[in-house]
């Protein structure tokens, strides 16, 4: 691809896919501020209601591994139309769910549609963006997935405070309705793929069991530790079987052999850790604002909004810097700023001085680091892969991203349930995250030593 610009129709196609994915990812966390309200309405506990987010992320983790196969078996247009329709229908049904069980089921359907759509963004950019602007366009794509979870609580808080929790779903239907029309008009009409690759259904079932038992085990670790250990043990067994089966098949569901490439492994782990902290904070901070500072759901949503906007502005800018100067500057600088933001937050919690204004400022600092580093870490991971491995690499990264988010949500929920005060739990969680991000600086920096990489 010699042109330095994307074709007009491709830009509109990307806009449609990004609009759908932004809404899907935004709704991952939009219900976080509504958990107390939902618990009262459905006469259940907050830990049970938390499953509305956990199940969403878990199903994403299960569906996303199919992306490498789906990308080879169906056209982008076919996958987009199916995922958009399914997501739109499930979203509308969620707005009229009669009870918690039905709402949980409709959230599962939403996640299936979202899981198909998510990898489309990166595969579409890789297929249509010229190499000259690949970093910038990947920055746009990563912006959608990294910033939308922070926008979710803001959107949810505003709608919940002024309308109802049902309206969170009903109003959101407008976006996938519009993106469906745009996609139908502008996405390329490619020839139908007649010869589809082999799909290893057994491997997918094994992986699904592994991930489900992992999340269930972590969720039960506090309340029923013995049962949780049994679940985690079985999860490990399924993982072992999956790894062995993947080695023997010519078309593995997830090409785990890519992790043998040291730089891809380092960047993938770094990417997952940042996602883990990001999703965890999107649940923890609104809870802290409501239960410790005793402020409204609307305020708790707004507290992360300025940081989300800053991150959204910086993501494509940092991608452009990567195109121009290489990755070293942005990923190391961003990782250091990430660490400083959480370290300041941890120090304020230690001395019981984390008020609304300080929380707002420190989260902005944290998101400044996310804006500089997060999308470029993912881009850096895929840049070390051969063209033929791009779809498989994106499947690994997106699967790990959703799984780490799911584990983060379960982790925060568990910590809040076993520690008597939210402020103590917040201090321990954020201090742990600070330590992880400190280690991350050295992990990322190590790949630039004795290397010509920039």
Residue ranges of domains in the chain: 8-200+249-446, 201-248
Give the whole-angstrom CA distance, residue 257 versus residue 395: 13
CA–CA distances in Å: residue 51 to residues 39, 302, 410 = 11, 23, 9
Helix (H, G, I), strand (E, B) or coil at 142: helix
For the 8-200+249-446 domain, the top CATH level (class) is mainly alpha
For residue 450, what pLDDT is reported? 53
pTM value is 0.77
Give the whole-angstrom CA distance, residue 278 versus residue 280: 5
Give the whole-angstrom CA distance, residue 90 versus residue 447: 43
Helices (H), 129-224: 134-162, 165-172, 174-186, 201-220
For residue 287, what pLDDT is reported? 84
CA–CA distances in Å: residue 71 to residues 65, 155, 196, 344 = 11, 32, 10, 43
For residue 1, what pLDDT is reported? 45
Q: Cβ of 442: how many Cβ atoms within 10 Å?
A: 9
Give the mean pLDDT per block of 10 residues along the chain (454 residues): 67 88 87 83 81 84 81 86 95 92 94 89 78 72 71 86 90 94 86 73 89 84 84 92 84 81 88 88 85 83 82 79 77 89 91 88 91 83 81 81 82 80 87 89 76 50
pLDDT in tens, 362-403: 999 999 998 888 878 888 888 888 877 877 887 788 788 878
Identify whether the C-beta of residue 453 lies closer than 8 Å to the C-beta of residue 329. no
Identify whether the C-beta of residue 117 lies closer than 8 Å to the C-beta of residue 17. yes
Closest by Cα among 142, 162, 166, 143 to 154: 162
pLDDT in tens, 161-219: 888 889 999 999 999 999 999 999 988 777 676 777 777 888 889 989 998 898 888 87
Helix (H, G, I), strand (E, B) or coil at 450: coil
Torsions phi, psi for 163 (to 5 deg): -130, -95
E runs forming strands in 273-395:
none
For residue 250, what pLDDT is reported? 75
Distance separating the N- and C-terminal Cα atoms of the chain = 24
CA–CA distances in Å: residue 212 to residues 35, 206, 272, 406 = 22, 10, 18, 10
For residue 179, what pLDDT is reported? 94
Report the half-sphere exposure of 55 (CA within 13 A, side-chain side): 18
For residue 452, what pLDDT is reported? 45
Give the whole-angstrom CA distance, residue 121 versus residue 179: 13
Identify whether the C-beta of residue 362 lies closer than 8 Å to the C-beta of residue 348. yes
> How big, in percent rounded to 5, are the helix, strand and coil portions of the chain?
80, 0, 20
């Amino acid at each position: 691809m010699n042109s330095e610009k994307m074709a007009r129709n491709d830009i509109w196609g990307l806009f449609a896919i990004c609009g759908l994915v932004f809404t899907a990812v935004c709704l991952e966390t939009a219900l976080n501020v509504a958990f107390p309200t939902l618990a009262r309405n459905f006469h259940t506990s907050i830990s049970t209601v938390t499953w509305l987010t956990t199940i969403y992320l878990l199903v994403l983790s299960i569906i996303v591994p199919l992306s490498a196969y789906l990308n080879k078996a169906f056209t982008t247009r076919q996958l987009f139309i199916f995922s958009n329709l399914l997501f739109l229908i499930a979203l509308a049904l969620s707005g009229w769910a009669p009870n918690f069980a039905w709402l949980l089921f409709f959230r599962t359907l939403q996640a299936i549609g979202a899981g198909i759509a998510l990898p489309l963004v990166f595969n579409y950019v890789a297929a249509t963006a010229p190499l000259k602007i690949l970093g910038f366009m990947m920055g746009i794509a990563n912006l959608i997935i990294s910033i939308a979870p922070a926008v979710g609580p803001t959107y949810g808080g505003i709608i919940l405070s002024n309308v109802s929790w049902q309206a969170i779903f009903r109003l959101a239907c407008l976006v996938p309705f519009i993106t469906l029309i745009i996609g139908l008009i502008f996405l390329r009409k490619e020839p139908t793929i007649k010869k589809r690759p082999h799909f290893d259904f057994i491997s997918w079932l094994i992986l699904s069991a592994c991930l489900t038992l992992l999340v269930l085990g972590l969720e039960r670790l506090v309340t029923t530790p013995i049962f949780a250990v049994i679940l985690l043990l079985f999860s490990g067994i399924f993982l072992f079987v999956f790894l062995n089966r993947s080695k023997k098949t010519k078309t593995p569901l997830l090409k785990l052999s890519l992790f043998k490439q040291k730089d891809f492994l380092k960047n993938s782990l770094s990417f997952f850790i940042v996602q883990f902290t990001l999703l965890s904070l999107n649940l923890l901070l609104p809870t802290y604002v409501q239960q410790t500072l005793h402020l409204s759901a609307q305020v708790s949503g707004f507290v992360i909004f300025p940081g989300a906007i800053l991150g959204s502005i910086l993501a494509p800018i940092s991608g452009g810097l990567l195109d121009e100067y290489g990755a070293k500057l942005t990923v190391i600088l961003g990782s250091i700023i990430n660490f400083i933001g959480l370290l300041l937050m941890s120090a304020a919690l230690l001395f019981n001085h984390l008020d609304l204004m300080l929380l707002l400022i420190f989260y902005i600092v944290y998101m400044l680091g996310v804006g500089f580093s997060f999308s470029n870490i993912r881009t850096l991971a895929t840049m070390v892969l051969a063209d033929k491995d791009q779809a498989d690499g994106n499947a690994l990264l997106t699967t790990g991203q959703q799984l780490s988010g799911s584990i983060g949500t379960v982790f925060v929920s568990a910590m809040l349930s076993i520690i008597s005060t939210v402020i103590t739990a917040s201090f321990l969680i954020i201090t742990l995250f600070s330590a992880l991000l400190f280690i991350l600086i050295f992990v990322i920096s190590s790949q630039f030593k004795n290397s010509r990489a920039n």
